[in-house]
Amino acid sequence: MNAVTGEDVLNELPVLNRSDLQTEGARLWSTQGDSSTWRLVRTSGTTGEPVSVLVDEDTRLAEGMALAEHIDRCLGPDAWRQRTLFHVTLHAGAASSVMSAPSGWASPAVKWNLIRSWQTEDDSFIESLGHLNGHIVTTMPSVAELISSRILSTGAAGSTIPLLVVLSGETLSDRQREIVEAAFDTRVTSLYTLAEVGIVGSECPAGGYHVEDQVAVVEVLDDLRRPAAIGVEGEIVVTSLVNRAMPLIRYRTGDQGRWENAPCKCDRPSARLFLARGRRPVSLIAESGATVNVVRFAKLIAGLDVQRINLRRLGRGSVAVEYEAQGLLDRSAHSLLESALRSALGPSASIVVRRSSMTQPDVTNERHGASPLHAEPAGPNAHEVAAWIRSALTNWPGVKDVEAAVITGSYLDAEATTRFSDIDVVVLLQETAGGFAWQRIVALVARLRSQLPQVRVNVDSLSAVRTRAPLLVCRLLQEQLPLVGALTTDNLPWPSIGSVRAHGKYWTQDAHALLWTWLTDPSLERKDVLPTAWLAAKQSVEALRYHYLARGARVTASREILAMAREEEQQDLPWLEDVAEAFDVAREHRPPPGPASSPSKRYISASLSCLGFVRDGL
Ligand SMILES: [Zn+2]
């Protein structure tokens, strides 16, 4: 009997294109196995062809094991498993969260989005990074490069020293590695990963990647789909050995690479794979001139019913979206895409979406790595939004009925915003405005909100606010970016301390009930900690506003309120540390803590104590 190797058998099979995954979809899903643990992974990759891949639990476990084995090779099998595995991102789309750790890890894994901390001053950004000290950091090379460049430019090299930095998701250049090593003063290693498969290869100290044999079979094929000779570049084609939910056999990755079989010193037997043409992030330019990474839209794009999509930047705040699909995008998909782009690029960005027959996605510049990297803004710029709403209001025929319109609240302070923050607009109509004015402003506000969903508009009359909402009056006077007219103590007198106190008593009663409902939620500790931290911080800051306003202070902005509480040395405020931590977690200036310290319960309890303290003093 002739020996038939696995490779011979594989060679006979057809290759699998991304378009096959798109057209066959669920037909490639397995009908065997426990589907309750399967997850749908969506990726648009760098080719602009969104695919969905069903991944089983074994694939997730194998990924954790491959990562752990690679860290063992780098650090030795010591106590690193006690350290936290931080997955660091830097784009507005991803929320920070605590994830279950790969098997064998003692601590949870934490996804930490640094985009909000990135918007702060150098000192506080560098201080935030301190949370990574002594832990294992995984991230994309472009993210590590941005963070490292900032560390180096502020002279803070070595101020944060992770135990190890593991880079994957894009091709790592020598220059990037040098920058990251210099900034973090630690060992840097890399993995070759595919969202569809997991960790395909891990770095050899002598260069290139050893294939993770237990995870995948890797082929490098020439233009005629034959195995490329050693040293000759071709397309990387991967067969997943683990995923039974949706087996990918001879899957074309779109990545280019070559084999090298020069011996290395690390004793791993397989030949080494060297990646060529790099995967690099593609970016757009916002109206403000800021750079926006297309990765931000990956999840959204992957959910669209298109074969291929290409986001092409035409200039500042201008983008052309071209897609190939069987039919036109439906209206809801279209508006979802448009509002996501507008949120990132600016409210009056020019967005042209059209169906086309494309040949190749236009990512040429990025492929060759010519464009410099920039971090993107965390959200639309308050001044851009202001200019846009101001122009909508002043061109609106009913503007004569508007006494004043302002943007107020946390959106005015980039360092205080969270991913839950709305852009709060208050429009105050004149006393003389008739019913018709009230009716037609509804249409205007609905139009604004359809273009920028984060906008919340409160329409009221000046006299109603003056008599019924003392705290809002204080906030409007202290925190306003005028759009039409202006609010001063001439048209909106500062409320009396008596009215602030009376109102504060009602408010604390309601807030107390709300916090108790959260505290006694049986699923509290299983829920995402970020919204809980946000609620606890928001309620505490609001309570402290009443506290200080009732004492005659004229301060309402959240960071200033917390700073005042911290300076109150004569008072013993044992809950203040937890409230401040909740505020930092909600803003993502620190990573969400793992469940061991029961953070959600701690934050809500601290907020209740804060409320009690304020109520007793009113
Ligand atoms: Zn090696």
| Per-residue pLDDT tens over the stretch 313-324 | 888 888 888 888
Report the C-alpha gap between 347 and 576 in whole angstroms. Answer: 38
- Amino acid at the residue 182: A
Q: Are residues 287 and 396 in the same domain?
A: no
Asked whether residue 372 is domain-assigned, the answer is no
Report the C-alpha gap between 553 and 551 in whole angstroms. Answer: 6
Query: How much distance in Å is there from the Cα of 272 to the middle of ligand 1?
Result: 7
Closest CA to 375 of 573, 142, 61: 142
Closest CA to 302 of 25, 45, 111: 45
Contacts of 501 (CB under 8 A, 6+ apart): 546, 550, 618
Q: Are residues 455 and 541 in the same domain?
A: no
Residue at a domain's end among 244, 275, 306: 275
Tokens of 602: 């701690």
Query: How much distance in Å is there from the Cα of 200 to the middle of ligand 1?
Result: 15
Res 474: pLDDT? 97
CA angle 243, 84, 593 (to 5 degrees): 105
What's the chain's length in residues?
Answer: 618
The one-character DSSP state at 586 is H
- Amino acid at the residue 227: P
Contact (CB, 8 A) for 165 and 171: no
Residues 265-284: what's their mean pLDDT?
78
Q: Are residues 264 and 291 in the same domain?
A: no
Report the C-alpha gap between 449 and 408 in whole angstroms. Answer: 16
Asked whether residue 375 is domain-assigned, the answer is no
Query: How much distance in Å is there from the Cα of 410 to the middle of ligand 1?
Result: 52
Res 3: pLDDT? 55
Report the C-alpha gap between 476 and 406 in whole angstroms. Answer: 8
Q: Are residues 44 and 152 in the same domain?
A: yes
Residues 397-423: what's their mean pLDDT?
90
Residue at a domain's end among 342, 367, 392: 367
Query: How much distance in Å is there from the Cα of 102 to the middle of ligand 1?
Result: 25
Contact (CB, 8 A) for 531 and 420: yes
Asked whether residue 489 is domain-assigned, the answer is no
Q: Are residues 260 and 147 in the same domain?
A: yes
Q: Are residues 145 and 260 in the same domain?
A: yes
Query: How much distance in Å is there from the Cα of 137 to the middle of ligand 1?
Result: 22
Query: How much distance in Å is there from the Cα of 508 to the middle of ligand 1?
Result: 64
Strand-by-strand arrangement of the 318-324 sheet: 308-315, 318-324, 350-355
Q: Are residues 130 and 88 in the same domain?
A: yes
What's the pLDDT band for 35 if we cut at 50, 70, 90?
confident
* pTM of the full structure: 0.84
- Give me the CATH number covering residue 554: 1.20.120
Torsion angles phi and psi, residue 481, rounded to 5 = -120, 105
Asked whether residue 373 is domain-assigned, the answer is no
**CB atoms closer than 10 angstroms to residue 174:** 8
Q: Which residues have a beta carbon within 5 Å of ligand 1, which is an ion?
A: 204, 264, 266, 268
Query: How much distance in Å is there from the Cα of 560 to the middle of ligand 1?
Result: 55
Query: How much distance in Å is there from the Cα of 157 to the middle of ligand 1?
Result: 30
Query: How much distance in Å is there from the Cα of 264 to the middle of ligand 1?
Result: 5
Q: Are residues 238 and 357 in the same domain?
A: no
Q: Are residues 247 and 338 in the same domain?
A: no
Res 130: pLDDT? 97
Query: What sign does the CA torsion over 114, 120, 124, 125 have?
Result: positive
Query: How much distance in Å is there from the Cα of 405 to the middle of ligand 1?
Result: 65
Closest CA to 127 of 584, 573, 568: 584
Res 380: pLDDT? 77
Asked whether residue 549 is domain-assigned, the answer is yes
3-state secondary structure 400-447: HHEEEEEEECHHHCCCCCCCCCCEEEEEEECCCCCHHHHHHHHHHHHH
Report the C-alpha gap between 502 and 500 in whole angstroms. Answer: 6
Residue entry with tokens 């001139």: 289
| Beta strands in 114-167, from DSSP E residues, in sequence order | 136-139, 164-167
- How many domains does the chain fold into? 4
Report the C-alpha gap between 212 and 152 in whole angstroms. Answer: 34
Residue entry with tokens 């005042």: 564
pLDDT tens column, 365-405: 333 334 556 777 777 778 888 999 999 999 998 899 999 99
Give Cα separations from 175 to 145, 148, 178, 427, 479 (angstroms).
Answer: 9, 12, 5, 52, 45
Contacts of 468 (CB under 8 A, 6+ apart): none
Query: How much distance in Å is there from the Cα of 145 to the middle of ligand 1?
Result: 25
Q: Are residues 244 and 313 in the same domain?
A: no
pLDDT tens column, 209-258: 999 998 999 999 998 889 999 999 999 999 999 888 888 899 998 889 99
Q: Are residues 251 and 287 in the same domain?
A: no
Report the C-alpha gap between 322 and 308 in whole angstroms. Answer: 8
Give Cα separations from 530 to 59, 394, 584 (angstroms).
Answer: 28, 38, 10
Tokens of 578: 């937890």
Residue 28 has pLDDT above 90, yes or no: no
pLDDT tens column, 195-206: 888 999 999 999
Res 367: pLDDT? 37
pLDDT tens column, 90-125: 877 778 999 887 777 777 899 999 988 988 899 999
Asked whether residue 491 is domain-assigned, the answer is no
Query: How much distance in Å is there from the Cα of 199 to the middle of ligand 1?
Result: 16
Contact (CB, 8 A) for 608 and 515: yes
Query: How much distance in Å is there from the Cα of 209 to the middle of ligand 1?
Result: 8
**CB atoms closer than 10 angstroms to residue 537:** 28
Report the C-alpha gap between 527 and 517 in whole angstroms. Answer: 14
- Give me the CATH number covering residue 449: 3.30.460.10
Provide the 3-class DSSP secondary structure of residue 130: helix
Q: Which domain holds residue 441?
A: 382-484
Report the C-alpha gap between 614 and 363 in whole angstroms. Answer: 56
Torsion angles phi and psi, residue 116, rounded to 5 = -80, -40
Residue at a domain's end among 332, 367, 402: 367
Query: How much distance in Å is there from the Cα of 208 to the middle of ligand 1?
Result: 8
Q: Which of 111-120, 297-306, 491-500, 605-614 bottoms out in mean pLDDT, i.e. has the lowest?
A: 297-306
Res 288: pLDDT? 82
Q: Are residues 138 and 245 in the same domain?
A: yes
Q: 481 pairs with which residues across the strands?
A: 407
Asked whether residue 377 is domain-assigned, the answer is no
